[in-house]
Amino acid sequence: MEHWDKNVPPKETWNEVRRVLKPGAFCLSFCSTHLYHRMAVNVEDGGFDIKDMIFWMVTTKMAKKNRLKPAFEPIVVGQKPYESSLQKNFDEWGVGIINIKGNKIPWDGKPPTGWIKGGTDRRAFGKDVKKAGVGAKEKLGTVDADPEGRYPSNIVGDVMTEHQKYFYAPRVSRKERDLGLLEGETNPHPTPKPVSLMRWLVRIFAPINGKVLDPYNGTGSTGIASLLEDRTYLGLELDQNYCDISEKRIKKYKDYLQYDN
């Protein structure tokens, strides 16, 4: 096990993160499968309510001795307790409600039609209509799928295209890792996250024109995602080399934006 993968941030760290966030703001933390329980407990003990766990499916990792081949990386989803009702908290602080409308998963082709309304039957369409029971279609009526796409799920990653259920976010490529670095330089960070994945998370959990705080900046993928999604970003990092790489990577993406505009 690598030294960076032996433990997780203590509850005191998450308590400080919670302290500077607005009521209702979200906290997302990646971790390894064998330390997820510690991460979730520490985030919770730091004052957050645990709301969900996101599976980032990564099928290209290598198996280690006497262990199953890792196929996903869990993400703890916590939320700072909100004031009063969720809507009143959002009206007061501008955070706390996830952005579903702008993050639906596009259909591969035309949206399905003829879903059965009501309960577990509503997901039956096409050949599966018969499974809803005799007369269900006439009794309950039907509804077509939302043309904007599927409701985003808590599974993200590499799946077969015919499933059409999940946002696609493959592992970060070497080209993406090193974008903006000088010739001969490489990004040594062991676990950089794909910009596409971080953009998706930023869009869902950070409000439009909001602020994103990353207490473990690494080499800047969250900062790049925040820049591309028009969010203000604050990243904290102890390693000066990582800070330098982050600056170069973010600058490169910023140059792209200026060129496009």
91 domain-assigned: yes
207 domain-assigned: yes
Kind and range of the H or E element at 89?
helix 86-93
Indicate the burial class of 73 (C-beta count within 10 angstroms; 0-12, 13-18, 19 or more).
buried
DSSP string, 163-205: G--SB--PPPPHHHHHTTPPTT-----SSPPPHHHHHHHHHHH
Say which CATH number the domain at 77 has.
3.40.50.150
55 domain-assigned: yes
Is this structure's pTM higher than 0.75? Answer: yes
Q: pLDDT tens, 28-60?
A: 999 989 999 999 999 999 999 999 999 888 766
Length of the chain: 261
- Domain count along the chain: 1
Tokens of 93: 């602080």
Q: pLDDT tens, 184-210?
A: 999 999 989 999 999 999 999 999 999
Picking from 218, 47, 241, the residue whose alpha carbon sits closest to that of residue 233 is: 218
Q: pLDDT tens, 68-87?
A: 777 889 999 999 999 989 99
pLDDT at residue 121, as a whole number: 46
Picking from 233, 150, 191, the residue whose alpha carbon sits closest to that of residue 5 is: 191
240 domain-assigned: yes
168 domain-assigned: yes
217 domain-assigned: yes
Task: List the domain range (segments joined by +) for residue 33.
Answer: 3-99+152-260
121 domain-assigned: no
SS3 70: coil
61 domain-assigned: yes
Q: What is the DSSP pairing of strand 49-57 with strand 155-157?
A: parallel
Q: Which residues contact 84 (CB under 8 A, 6 or more apart)?
A: none
Q: Distance between CA 70 and CA 66 in Å, rounded? A: 12
